[in-house]
Amino acid sequence: MENFWDFNVWSSFNIIAVLLLSLLAANILRRSIPLLRKSLIPTSVLAGGLLILVAWIFKLITGEVMFDTAFFGGNGTAALEVITYHCLALGFIASAFKPSKGKLTKKRTSEIFNTGVTTVSTYIIQGVFGLAITIIAGLIVSGFFQGAGVLLPFGYGQGTGQAMNYGGIFENEPYNFAGGKSFGLTIAALGFICASIGGVIHLNILKARGKIKVQEKSSGTHEYSEDPENALPMNESIDKLTIQVALIAAAYAVTYLIMTGLGALLPGMKAVVFGFNFLLGVLSATLIKALLGLLRKKNIVKKDYTDNFLMTRTSNFFFDIMVVAGIAAIRFGVIQNYWGIILTLGGVGMIITYLYNLFVAKKLFPEYPQEQFLMMYGMLTGTASTGVILLREIDGDFKTPAADNMVYQNFPAIVFGFPMMLLATLAGKRPVLTLLILIAFFLVMNVILFRSFIFRRRSKMDKDGGGEEAQAQAAQAQAEEDKN
C-alpha cells in the first residue's frame, strides 16, 4: 500500500514541476535582462542551462547528482531522458493534427518542395562534415567512436529528441558508445547556442548595412483564424483542449501498437523502430485526421474536432518541455574527454549550415532571401521555434511565405530524409563507407534542388549547339554549291 507522503508518489510530479519552474525563471530573466532578450536564446534553452547550473552547485555542496536523489525518485536523469523521448513524438503529433490550409499554387508548391530538399541537404552536409571530423578524431583518440559525427545532423538539424534517440541507439550493442546520449544532447545544446549567435550576428550585419529593419514582434492575437460555424465550442460538456489532448493520446497509442508490431517482426531493428516514434506518430496522426475528415465529409461528425490554435499551443508546450528536459539530462562526466571534438563539431556545424543555407536562400528564394535564410538557419541549428524566433525579427506578421515553407516542408523532408535516418545506423559500423554514400547522396539532392538552373542551362546549351550545328551545315552546303 502506497503512502501519499512517500517520494515515489511525488517524484514524477517533482520532476515536471522543476522543469516548469525553470521555464518560468528563465522567462523572468529574459524579460528582466536586456542582454538575454537581445541574444534571442530560447527560453527553454536558458531554462535547461539554469538547471545544469543548479545541479552543478548541488553536486559541489552535497557530492550527489541532483536528479538522482530520492526527491526525484532516485533515477531522475533517466526520467528526463524518457520525458525528452516522449515529448518529441507528442509535439510532432500535435503539429500533424493542425488543419491544412487551402490549395497551393505551382510556384508555392515548388518553393515548399525546395525548402524540404534544402532541409535534407543540410542534414547530409552536416553528416558529411561531422563524420569526417570524428573519423579523423578516432585515428587520434584511442577508442573513440568514429561514427559519433552522424549525431551532428540529429543534434543540429532535428533537435534534442532525435539527438538523444540516436545517441541511445549507439550506447547499445553492437556500437557500445559510452555516453552516446549525453554526446548527442550536448551537440543539440550547442546547436541552440549557435542558432542564437549566428542569427544575432547576421541580423546586426544586415541592420548595419541598412538592408533590413528589425520589426516589433506581433502580439500573436490574430495569428490563427477559426471557422466559428464549424468549430467546436471552447467549453461545452468537455473542454476543447481536452479533446485535442485526447486525439494526441489516441495517435500516440496507435503509434505504440505499430512500433510493438514492427519490433516483433524485426527484432534486430527494435531500437531503431522505437527511435522513429516521432515519424510513426506523424503517420498515426495523419491517418486519424484523414478519418475525421472523411466522417466530417459524410456528415457523421458535425463539427471540426481539431483546433489550429490549441494544437499549436500544445505542440509548443511539448517542445519546450523536451528541450529543457533534454539539456538538463546531459551528464558531462561521461563526455569530459571529448570536449575538443564536441566543440569542433559545433563550430564547423554552425559555419557550414550558415554558408550553405545563405547560398540556397539567395539562389532559390530571391523574393525573400533573408527571411528564408533566417528561418532555415534557426530551424537547422535549433528547432522550428528557433527559426520562427529569428524570422519574427524581420517578418513579425509573417507577410513572406517563409513561415509556411517551414510548416509544409515536412512531407518532402521526411520522404527524402528517411534514407539519412537509416544510414545513421550504418555509420556506427562502417563510418568511411557511410561518409562516401552521404557525399553521393548530397550531390544527388543538390541536382534535385538546383534542377531549374541545371536543366535549363543544359537545354539552352543544346538549343544553342543545335543552332550552331545547323548554321555550320548550311555554310558547308553553300560552299560546296559555290564550288560546283
Please determine, for residue 457, whether its predicted confidence score (pLDDT) is greater than 80. no
Residue of higher predicted confidence among 2 and 304:
304
C-alpha cell at 252: 500516440
Residue 277 located in a structural domain = yes
Count of structural domains within the chain: 1
Q: Measured between alpha carbons, how far is residue 268 from residues 136, 169, 175, 272, 273 in Å?
A: 30, 12, 13, 9, 10
pLDDT for the residue 465 = 55
Q: Average pLDDT over the chain, rounded to whole?
A: 83
Residue 454 in domain = no
Q: Is 461 part of any domain?
A: no
The yes-or-no verdict on residue 230 having pLDDT over 60 is: no
> Which range has the top average pLDDT, 65-74, 158-167, 231-240, 346-355?
346-355
Categorize the per-residue pLDDT at 221 as very low, low, confident or very high, splitting at 50, 70 and 90.
very low
pLDDT on residue 135: 95
Question: Mind giving me the DSSP string for 382-409?
Answer: S-HHHHHHHHHTT-TT--STHHHHHHHT
Residue 473 included in any domain: no
Residue 212 has pLDDT above 50, yes or no: yes
Q: What is the pLDDT of residue 145?
A: 92
Please say whether the beta carbons of 382 and 159 come within 8 A: yes
Q: Give the residue numbers spanning the domain of 276.
A: 7-217+236-449
Of the two residues 63 and 221, the one the predictor is more confident about is: 63
The stretch 81-109 carries a mean pLDDT of 79
Is residue 465 assigned to a domain? no
pLDDT on residue 1: 63
Tell me what the mean pLDDT of segment 322-341 comes to.
83
457 versus 372: the higher-pLDDT residue is 372
pLDDT over 70 percentage in the chain: 85
Instruction: Determine the Cα–Cα distance for residues 65 and 77; give it in Å rounded to an integer.
Output: 9
38 falls in which pLDDT band (50, 70, 90)?
confident
If one counts every other C-beta atom within 10 angstroms of the C-beta of residue 116, the result is 23
Residues 6+ apart with CB under 8 A from 476: none
**Cell numbers at 326, concatenated:** 533534454
Residue 33 lies in a domain: yes
- Contact status, residue 363 vs residue 450, Cβ threshold 8 Å: yes
221/163: higher pLDDT: 163
> For residue range 365-376, what is the model confidence (pLDDT) as tens digits?
999 999 999 999
**Quick one: cell of 118?**
534544402
pLDDT in tens, 122-147: 999 999 999 999 999 999 988 899 99
- Best-predicted range by mean pLDDT (166-175, 224-233, 416-425, 454-463): 166-175
What integer is the mean pLDDT of 287-313? 85
Helix axes 240-265, 277-297, angle to 10 degrees: 130
* pLDDT reading at 174 higher than 60: yes
Q: Is residue 54 part of a domain?
A: yes
Q: In this structure, what C-alpha cell is assigned to residue 398?
A: 509573417
Least confident of 31-35, 339-343, 421-425: 421-425
Average pLDDT (33-46) is 80
Q: Residue 169: pLDDT band by 50, 70, 90 thresholds?
A: confident
Collapse the DSSP code of 104 into the 3-class scheme (helix H, G, I; strand E, B; otherwise coil) and give the result: coil
Does residue 171 fall inside a structural domain?
yes
In what helix (H) or strand (E) does residue 140 lie, and over which residues does it extend?
helix 106-140
Ordered DSSP codes for 332-362: GGGGGGGHHHHHHHHHHHHHHHHHHHHHHHH
